[in-house]
């Protein structure tokens, strides 16, 4: 259930704003969306996944690169593919191995993005395939704490059943993640969204297509050209105001001052 956080927009104020607004929620992917692909964190993450496949899962070295990419393309994430084809491993161990050695020092505070986010009166939520710890680290390194109402992440969509204390979670288990339409529908339910009044920002054409199928207004980030299902293309997340001025319109006298959100704690939505 999504609970209001200290310093965030209160429900009655949000409703007043939403009544006159075209959009009332902004759903953001995180990696390669809030920061550029050119930082190289994506490549470092892929290398760490391949190292895990080689050293922990004992997959033949010559097969690892192609297998890593093929599983990503087929199942949304390499982890999801590995689980479905029968590899048994602990989710937390996988995430720690993949994200624990990332070059987080490449992420710097982004006061321009922070200012943009805090100036928009809509609800703002992170929707990422990554785990909670990685999401929290990225937001901290970028100085974006308090800019989002919450985080929908791996743990949100893949909660253990009550009483399940198994470490590996079993092989052959389906992982719910983007770009599946089911993951989009789950987010709508978890965050209580109206898809028609939600803007979805993502760098992946596959995710954008699924977001459009779910009914979102879609924005491809990191590209100056539209892709299938995208309503808007942003070369940089910093171009939001120029490309989507309506996000600052229609609030009228009900527009919400959310500068106090700068001190809010972002939590995982479940």
User: If one looks up domain 41-99 in CATH, what number appears?
Assistant: 1.10.150
Q: Please tell me the class of the 11-36+108-268 domain.
A: alpha beta
Helix (H, G, I), strand (E, B) or coil at 147: coil
For the stretch 217-259, pLDDT in tens is: 999 999 999 999 999 999 999 999 999 999 998 554 333 333 3
Predicted structure pTM score? 0.85
Cβ-contact 208, 113 below 8 angstroms: no
Question: For the chain, first and last CA: distance in Å?
Answer: 6
CA distance readout (Å), 31 to 201, 236, 260, 263: 11, 13, 26, 23
For the stretch 118-146, pLDDT in tens is: 999 999 999 999 999 999 999 999 999 99
CA distance readout (Å), 57 to 88, 90, 94, 153, 166: 9, 11, 10, 24, 18
| Confidence class for position 21, pLDDT limits 50, 70, 90 | confident
CB-facing half-sphere around the CA of 16: CA atoms within 13 A: 11
| Confidence class for position 268, pLDDT limits 50, 70, 90 | confident
- Domain parsing of the chain, residue ranges: 11-36+108-268, 41-99
For the stretch 154-175, pLDDT in tens is: 999 998 765 454 444 456 689 9
């Amino acid at each position: 259930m999504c609970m209001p956080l200290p310093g965030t927009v209160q429900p009655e104020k949000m409703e007043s704003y939403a009544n006159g607004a075209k959009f009332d929620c902004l759903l953001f992917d995180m990696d390669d969306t809030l920061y550029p692909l050119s930082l190289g964190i994506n490549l470092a993450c892929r290398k760490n996944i391949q190292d895990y496949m080689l050293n922990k899962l004992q997959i033949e070295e010559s097969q690892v690169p192609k297998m890593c990419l093929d599983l990503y393309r087929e199942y949304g994430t390499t982890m999801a593919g590995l689980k479905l084809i029968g590899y048994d491993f602990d989710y937390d161990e996988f995430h720690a191995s993949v994200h624990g050695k990332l070059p987080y020092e490449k992420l710097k505070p982004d006061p321009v993005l922070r200012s943009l986010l805090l100036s928009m009166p809509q609800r703002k939520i992170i929707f990422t395939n990554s785990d909670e710890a990685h999401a929290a680290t990225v937001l901290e390194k970028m100085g974006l704490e308090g800019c989002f109402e919450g985080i929908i992440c791996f743990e949100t969509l893949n909660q253990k059943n009550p009483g399940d204390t198994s470490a590996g979670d079993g092989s052959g288990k389906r992982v719910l993640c983007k770009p599946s339409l089911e993951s989009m529908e789950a987010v709508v339910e978890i965050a209580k969204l109206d898809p028609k009044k939600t803007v979805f920002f993502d760098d992946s054409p596959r995710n954008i297509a699924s977001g459009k199928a779910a009914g979102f207004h879609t924005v491809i980030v990191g590209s100056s050209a539209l892709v299938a299902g995208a309503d808007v293309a942003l070369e940089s997340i910093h171009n939001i105001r120029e490309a989507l001025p309506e996000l600052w319109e229609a609030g009228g006298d009900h527009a919400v001052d959310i500068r106090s959100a700068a001190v809010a704690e972002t939590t995982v939505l479940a």
